[in-house]
């Protein structure tokens, strides 16, 4: 059994953070450090096929949830607070509804319990045009990617995944081929009868379309004790776009 790669910060109550699709634990380093400074033992996890965790042809939310349970068992964590963003939010929802005794509190960042149609085609189209036999540094990769992905923020987010596979040879940390083939899985919903009645906070970006006002009834059906709050001046990457308010609202919930 392979165990997920993580960075552990601080001491105190275990607090697991799960990144989004094509992300990695590093995306949460700044906020993770802030939680750690305030009395939590923060586990910044790389999910399978992402970051420094293992690669696998199998990829669905059941498995992603089981990966976290295996990680918790490996470190003898009886329970933890769990925060997940986007894809990580779906993993966190699956985990909380499947193993409610292992999740003390749940925070879901900018994703709802519903199906999302595949919408990452333009990203994979851009990434597939990066020829690492010809590209020798990040600047060249960014230049090439800019022809397909205009948003500089998205490009910078993706380029964090580049690393030196060997001397003078770049590659992706994420499992490009499997994730490209599993785009349908990313949009899948948690089970229809799944319920977690522990304390839950959904945070949505005011400029994001991922959580709509009419999603609240479905959120409350699966998570009867959920609060839904909005982060101002933020899109889907709300934790990066307004980290101050994200921390304030999440920290207030953690201490309530």
Yes or no: say if 57 and 185 are a contact pair by the CB < 8 Å rule: no
Yes or no: say if 87 and 186 are a contact pair by the CB < 8 Å rule: yes
User: Is 74 part of the annotated catalytic residue set?
Assistant: no
Catalytic residue among 78, 137, 151, 177: 177
3-state secondary structure of 54: coil
d(CA 201, CA 254): 9
**What b-and-e string marks burial along 33-61, b requiring 16 or more CB atoms within 10 Å of the CB?**
ebbbeeebbbbbbbbbbbbebebeeebeb
d(CA 33, CA 23): 18
Compute CA distances 123 → 84, 189, 243, whole Å.
22, 22, 25
Catalytic residue among 43, 222, 236, 239: 236
Catalytic residue among 86, 98, 208, 250: 86
**224: Cα within 13 Å, side-chain hemisphere:** 5
Question: Alpha helix (H) ranges present in the chain?
Answer: 29-37, 61-74, 87-98, 121-128, 138-145, 152-159, 176-181, 183-186, 216-222, 238-241, 243-254
User: Is 120 part of the annotated catalytic residue set?
Assistant: no
In sequence order, the 6+-apart residues with CB closer than 8 A to the CB of 7 are 25, 29, 32, 43, 44
Torsion of CA 63, 64, 68, 71, to 10 degrees: 70
Q: Which residues are catalytic?
A: 86, 177, 236
């Amino acid at each position: 059994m392979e165990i997920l790669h993580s960075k552990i910060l601080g001491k105190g109550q275990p607090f697991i953070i799960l990144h989004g699709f094509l992300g990695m634990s590093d995306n949460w380093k700044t906020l993770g450090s802030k939680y750690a400074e305030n009395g939590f033992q923060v586990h910044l996890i790389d999910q399978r096929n992402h970051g420094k965790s293992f690669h696998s042809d199998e990829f669905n939310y059941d498995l992603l949830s089981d990966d976290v349970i295996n990680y918790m068992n490996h470190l003898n964590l009886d329970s933890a607070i769990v925060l997940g963003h986007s894809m990580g939010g779906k993993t966190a929802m699956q985990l909380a509804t499947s193993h409610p005794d292992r999740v003390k509190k749940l925070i879901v960042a900018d994703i709802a319990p519903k199906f999302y149609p595949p919408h990452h085609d333009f990203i994979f189209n851009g990434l597939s045009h990066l020829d690492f036999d010809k590209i020798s540094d990040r600047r060249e990769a960014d230049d090439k990617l800019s022809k397909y992905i205009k948003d500089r923020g998205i490009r910078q987010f993706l380029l964090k995944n580049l690393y030196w596979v060997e001397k003078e040879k770049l590659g992706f940390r994420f499992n490009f081929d499997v994730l490209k083939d599993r785009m349908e899985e990313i949009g899948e919903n948690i089970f229809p009868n799944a319920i977690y009645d522990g304390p839950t906070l959904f945070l949505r970006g005011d400029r994001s379309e991922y959580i709509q006002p009419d999603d609240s009834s479905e959120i409350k059906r699966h998570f009867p004790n959920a609060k839904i709050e909005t982060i101002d001046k933020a899109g889907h990457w709300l934790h990066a776009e307004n980290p101050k308010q994200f921390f304030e609202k999440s920290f207030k919930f953690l201490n309530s």
